[in-house]
Every structure is written in structure tokens, then in C-alpha cells.
């Protein structure tokens, strides 16, 4: 079994959250054979704000796709520790809300195809919000062979999960038109889900992402 080099928690001294504001737009491609299929676009905004009289970092993701549907995720965190404040998901008929207090996580899951559910879960101060994991991987000094582990609350499941991040290599990755940047290849393992990311070694931006789908195809998010 691979040795874990570091177990991360909110406020860990190794965390150095990325500068904001940051805006990004990626193409979404499905690869199931030789010719990629255009599926839509995915945008991200990472910025600072002040909410409820406290400094806040927020992250908004919008996936626009005729075949996948429109996904909107909005998360807020403490900008220094990355401890979560709130998360909202809107995806077709699915609406998920999670609110993190000093002692518990409360929220609701509303879906057209299932029974609506409210949840109240004791807060684990050692856990991030699942949608903050992609911010965490941009906030740590990476190097080939590094293995990180962290706990995250998954709002759609109303439960905690363990995520493992492994830096499996490095290679130049497209960062923009006619521009490439050295990038760390980071593999995220989350239960039975495996995603590969390319994190800019200089910019600390998410330059690309790939995820294997249950049918064997691959979904790529690229600039």
C-alpha cells in the first residue's frame, strides 16, 4: 500500500491558497474512439468577497452542455484555512444546499426523481467540502511521487469521504493559445471515481482535467 506523505486538514501550515481573482473557461470533450466529441464548456471563477461580515473565498463552476445538462456549483470557504462555509449545486432537477456551522453541517437534497431529504451531520473540523478539493490541490507544493490524503464532506451524499491525491508525473500542458506551461499530473481517487488533473507548476491553475466514465469513455476538460 502506498505511504501517505501528508494528511491535510483545513488550516494546515502546508496550505497556501491560490491568488484570486481567477477566471477560466475549458472545452468539454468526450473521447470514445479516435475522434473527440464536443460536449460543451465549463467555466470557473475563483474570487474574494465579504459575506456575513467575514472574508470569504468563493468558487463558481458552470457546465453548459446540451447532452449533460447545465451544472452550477457555488462554494464558499475561509480564504486562509479553506474551511468550508457553504455549498450549492443546481443540476437539472437536482438542488443541493449545505451549510457549515461550528458544530454541524445542515442542508437539503431535492431531486425530481427521488424523495427530498434534509440532513444534519456533526461537523468534522478535519474535513474540507468536496468541491474545495480542487482548490486544495492548487494550494500545496507538489512534486512527483507526493501522496496526500484528506477528508471531505460530499453534499450530494450528505456524508464524509476520504480523497487521495497522488502526483504521478509532470509534462507541458496547454495553458492558452500557443502557450504551454510545465504541469504536475495529479490523480484524485475518490471511492470508485478516478480523475486526473494537470496543475500549472508556475501558475497553480487547473490547466486540464480528465475523468473516466462508467461506459469506458473519457471526459476531458481542456483549454
Beta bridge partners of 60: 45, 74
Res 1: pLDDT: 57
Give the Cα separation of 165 and 143 in Å (integer): 12
Res 216: pLDDT: 85
Cα-to-chain-centroid distance, residue 192? 16
Q: Is-contact 138 71, C-beta < 8 A?
A: no
Give the Cα separation of 213 and 193 in Å (integer): 9
- Tens-digit pLDDT profile for the chain (223 aa)? 578 899 999 999 999 988 767 899 999 999 988 889 999 999 999 999 988 889 999 999 999 999 889 999 999 999 999 999 999 999 988 999 999 999 999 999 998 877 789 999 999 999 999 999 999 999 999 999 999 999 999 999 999 999 999 999 999 999 988 899 999 999 999 988 899 999 999 999 999 999 988 888 899 999 9
Q: Is-contact 200 207, C-beta < 8 A?
A: yes
Domain boundaries, the chain: 6-222
Give the Cα separation of 44 and 23 in Å (integer): 6
Res 220: pLDDT: 96
Res 19: pLDDT: 72
- Give the number of C-alpha atoms closer than 13 A to the C-alpha of residue 67, restricted to the C-beta side: 9
List, in sequence order, every beta strand (DSSP E) within the chain: 6-8, 22-31, 37-51, 54-64, 71-77, 84-91, 94-100, 104-110, 117-122, 127-129, 147-154, 159-176, 179-190, 193-200, 206-212, 218-222
Mention every residue, 6+ apart, whose C-beta is less than 8 A from residue 157. Answer: none
Give the Cα separation of 47 and 60 in Å (integer): 9
Amino acid at each position: 500500500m502506498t505511504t501517505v506523505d501528508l494528511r491535510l486538514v483545513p488550516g494546515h501550515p502546508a496550505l497556501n491558497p491560490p491568488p484570486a481573482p481567477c477566471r477560466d473557461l475549458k472545452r468539454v470533450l468526450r473521447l470514445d474512439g479516435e475522434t473527440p466529441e464536443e460536449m460543451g464548456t465549463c467555466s470557473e471563477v475563483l474570487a474574494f468577497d465579504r459575506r456575513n461580515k467575514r472574508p470569504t473565498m468563493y468558487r463558481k463552476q458552470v457546465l453548459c452542455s446540451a447532452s449533460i445538462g447545465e451544472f452550477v456549483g457555488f462554494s464558499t470557504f475561509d480564504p486562509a484555512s479553506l474551511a468550508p462555509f457553504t455549498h450549492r449545486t443546481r443540476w437539472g432537477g437536482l438542488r443541493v444546499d449545505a451549510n457549515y456551522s461550528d458544530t454541524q453541517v445542515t442542508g437539503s437534497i431535492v431531486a425530481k426523481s427521488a424523495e427530498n431529504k434534509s440532513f444534519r451531520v456533526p461537523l468534522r473540523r478535519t474535513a474540507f467540502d468536496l468541491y474545495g478539493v480542487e482548490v486544495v490541490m492548487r494550494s500545496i507544493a507538489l512534486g512527483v511521487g507526493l501522496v496526500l490524503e484528506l477528508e471531505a464532506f460530499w453534499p450530494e451524499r450528505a456524508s464524509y469521504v476520504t480523497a487521495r491525491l497522488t502526483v504521478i508525473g509532470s509534462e507541458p500542458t496547454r495553458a492558452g493559445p500557443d502557450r504551454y506551461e510545465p504541469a504536475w499530473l495529479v490523480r484524485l481517487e475518490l471511492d470508485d471515481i478516478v480523475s486526473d488533473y494537470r496543475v500549472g507548476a508556475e501558475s497553480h491553475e487547473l490547466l486540464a482535467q480528465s475523468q473516466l466514465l462508467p461506459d469506458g469513455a473519457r471526459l476531458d476538460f481542456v483549454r
